[in-house]
Amino acid sequence: MPRKLSDTVDVNEAVSMDPVEEQADAVEMNEDMTEQEEMPAEEAETAVAPEAEPEAAEEAAPAAEPAQEAEEAPAEEAAPAPRPARRRRKSTKTIEEAVSEMTEKTDAVIRADRDERRSLYQRERVFSSDSDAPAMTRAAEQRNTYLDLASSANTGKVLSGILMGVDELEISGGKRIVCGVIYYKDFRVYIPQEMLFVMDEEYDSPKARNDAQKYYTSMRLDSEVTFVVTQVSESDKFAFASHLAAVQQKVAENYFTKNRYGKSLVRENGLAEAIVTYVTGSSIGVEIGGMETRIPAEDLSWLYVNNAKVEGYTVGEKILVMVKKISPMTYRFYSPFGNGNAITYNLVAVEASVKEAQENPNDKYYSFFHEGQRVRARITGRSDKGYFARIAELRDALCQDDIDERLPDGTIVSVKIMKMRPDTKNIYARIIDVIKLPD
């Protein structure tokens, strides 16, 4: 039976759709997509009434004789009237009306009625030279998309899509919620911010909270997001979903499930592959085994990092990190829909570092340089002691501030190495000339 909207996915319990109900649903939808074939014109011309009984035919014969000559004369067959084309009925609901209607219902899957399905899935005739793999029609593709979303709502199946927008919706009761938007083929999938990522900070007002939600959601645009559908409307082509429900399943699989040696896939003091989800000046966000965490700029490199954006990280990029700490956590909030039932997700808090997964380049490349050497360098930041410069793009040197003008980050300069400290592996240099200012 379909789940209710207020239900949450239990990762330790497999939920399946009733096979009989699923088969009946597919049969009914196939009937909606199949229209009765029209009778060919040749068959209409040769069609005759059922034969009369012999005695009745003999009695009727004399009366029919005077009309034989008329029957022998050619008669023009009336052309069959053209069948009126069925107009596709389009929904006239606004997005606010569709959202309001959905949030007032408790069913996870809201099916279209029979007339709406006939309009949604109008039959299209397609010639195909390959009968084993015919081309997918628009109606069939739309139907498969709906079945995919309905399956996720009924079974907890995890889907994925690219986060393409941020929107603020007004739901029943006049409440406004911030959502991330995924355009899943012909359907719009809205993920409320409370179900998109963990955000438990307190704010002075609802407006301040909504503004913060929009900012943090906007940072994740163009990133791939997994989700589990919580409610879908077939006729409105609209769905609500939860990213954290999908995260909960991944966390159970990667952090809580033990192998035969009693170890989890993601563990403390172990290396892991991470996917970049957002980049700001002070940090980057990464997803490790399904769980997102923030890595501050000082943990991105052994070298000086003043702005994480200039380090070249891109959303969707895979990087290597060291998992420093894993702490189980319970994230609890009240659903913005219906009667506001409490929803609980069993997740983890993860601390990770990019630089600890790498060898320290300040140690590795110290022997590559010597005092008196002139080297190309790139300004990466400035402190009260001078400029930090990436010499030969290998390691850092602290440069004296002998330049009259302020040099922005990214400026290419030539430097002269003045002093090297073997005990600390520090290199001190002086800026000789400016080669190129950043664009």
Given this model, what pLDDT does residue 3 score?
Answer: 45
Given this model, what pLDDT does residue 7 score?
Answer: 43
35-48 core/surface letters (b: 16 or more CB in 10 A; e: else): eeeeeeeeeeeeee
Given this model, what pLDDT does residue 260 score?
Answer: 87
Fold equal for 91-126+136-243 and 246-357: yes
Is the overall model pTM greater than 0.75, yes or no? no
Amino acid of residue 401:
D
Given this model, what pLDDT does residue 138 score?
Answer: 82
Given this model, what pLDDT does residue 88 score?
Answer: 47
* Domain locations in the chain as residue ranges: 91-126+136-243, 246-357, 361-436
* Number of other residues whose CB lies within 10 A of the CB of residue 209: 16
- The domain made up of 361-436 has a fold known as OB fold (Dihydrolipoamide Acetyltransferase, E2P) (2.40.50)
Let me know if domain 91-126+136-243 sits in CATH 3.30.390.30. Answer: no
Per-residue pLDDT 10s for the chain (439 aa) are: 444 444 444 433 433 444 444 444 554 555 554 443 444 444 434 333 444 444 444 444 444 444 444 444 454 555 566 655 555 445 556 666 666 666 666 677 888 777 777 777 777 677 667 666 667 788 888 889 999 999 999 999 999 999 999 998 887 667 788 899 999 988 999 999 889 988 767 777 878 888 888 888 898 899 999 999 999 998 888 899 999 999 999 999 999 999 888 899 999 999 999 999 999 989 999 999 999 999 999 999 999 988 888 788 999 999 999 999 999 999 988 877 766 688 899 999 999 999 999 999 999 999 999 999 999 999 998 888 899 999 999 999 999 877 777 899 889 999 999 999 999 999 999 999 999 998 8
Given this model, what pLDDT does residue 37 score?
Answer: 40
3-state secondary structure the chain: CCCECCCCCCCCCCCCCCHHHHHHHHHHHHHHHCCCCCCCHHHHHHCCCCCCCHHHHHHHHHHHHHHHHHHHCCCCCCCCCCCCCCCCCCCCCCHHHHHHHHHHCCECEECCCHHHHHHHCCCCCCCCCCCCCCCCCHHHHHHHHHHHHHHHHHHCCCEEEEEEEEEEEECCCCCEEEEEEEEECCEEEEEEHHHCCCCCCCCCCHHHHHHHHHHHHHCCCCCEEEEEEEEEECCCCEEEEEHHHHHHHHHHHHHHCCCCCCCCCCCCCEEEEEEEEEECCCEEEEEECCEEEEEEHHHCCCCCCCCHHHHCCCCCCEEEEEEEEEEEEEEEEECCCCCCCEEEEEEEEEEEECHHHCCCHHHHCHHHCCCCCEEEEEEEEEECCEEEEEECCCEEEEEECCCCCCCCCCCEEEEEEEEEECCCCEEEEEEEEEEECCC
CATH top-level class for 246-357?
mainly beta
